[in-house]
A and B are shown apart, each in its own frame.
Chain A
Amino acid sequence: DAGITQSPRHKVTETGTPVTLRCHQTENHRYMYWYRQDPGHGLRLIHYSYGVKDTDKGEVSDGYSVSRSKTEDFLLTLESATSSQTSVYFCAISEIWGAEQYFGPGTRLTVT
């Protein structure tokens, strides 16, 4: 299994509070991705990174920001959480362009 961990694995927070999710990899892969999974939508890309300090938006990026200061860590921040951001969040990594992506175990976030 690819060495990908996500923390926390579960979190309950209140509307309006900031939240940061962490993805950590031990594979030294260049590409990292954040997806969210909601019923009826499959997984949708939030943001991705193609190198340290190099990030770009995905299809559902509103309300989210990311940072990557080290190869191994990719942070997803919800500046002010809303109930519509209740979801399961997955991090994924990819070694090279075109390669398959390997996923972390996911984080279940509930915004009350």
Chain B
Amino acid sequence: AQTVTQSQPEMSVQEAETVTLSCTYDTSESDYYLFWYKQPPSRQMILVIRQEAYKQQNATENRFSVNFQKAAKSFSLKISDSQLGDAAMYFCAYRSTNQGGKLIFGQGTELSVKP
């Protein structure tokens, strides 16, 4: 069975600085998807970024980018120029190409942004 691990329960960053959130996963599959979701205090789950395992190029979305290391089974999220609105819980998630498309989530990392 696949597992997702986020080893940093809490992180803190100064406004305008860069922070990296870590995520590792375990799978025997070669084809899959990885996601980062953001959950602010409103509780809404917001998709931040998506990575297909067959793509070597790291995904980027504005200030958000990932470092996808397939061999190491690592999928970290980098937030550049951090803003107060980035403060939230961040979840890493794995999705197999079968098994009904379910997402397997990590435990989450709570990010605080200091002004």
Contact = CB atoms under 8 A, between A and B. Distances in A.
Given A94-B101, A101-B103, A88 B43 contact: yes
Contact of B102 (A58, A98, A100, A102): A58
A82 B115 CA distance: 43
Contacts of A103: 37, 44-45
Given A88-B43, A106-B44, A43 B105 contact: yes
Contact of B100 (A35, A42, A56, A106): A56
Q: How large is the interface on A (under 10, 10 to 19, 20 to 34, 35 or more residues)?
A: 20 to 34
B68 interface: no
Q: How large is the interface on B (under 10, 10 to 19, 20 to 34, 35 or more residues)?
A: 20 to 34
Interface in A12-48: 31, 33, 35, 40-45, 48
B43 A105 contact: yes
Contacts, number: 57
B107 A41 contact: yes
A45 B47 contact: no
Given A40-B107, A100-B35, A33 B102 contact: yes
A94 B45 CA distance: 14
A56 B98 CA distance: 13
A108 to B, nearest CB: 8
A73 to B, nearest CB: 19
Given A58-B102, A101-B103, A106-B43, A42 B35 contact: no
B106 A42 contact: yes
A70 to B, nearest CB: 20
23 contacts: A33-B102, A33-B103, A41-B107, A42-B4, A42-B91, A42-B105, A42-B107, A43-B45, A43-B103, A45-B103, A48-B100, A56-B100, A59-B102, A90-B45, A92-B45, A98-B95, A98-B101, A100-B35, A101-B47, A101-B103, A103-B37, A103-B44, A105-B43
Interface of B: 4, 33, 35, 37, 43-45, 47, 50, 91, 95, 97, 100-108
The 7 closest A-B pairs by CB, nearest first: A42-B105, A103-B45, A45-B102, A43-B105, A106-B43, A42-B107, A48-B100
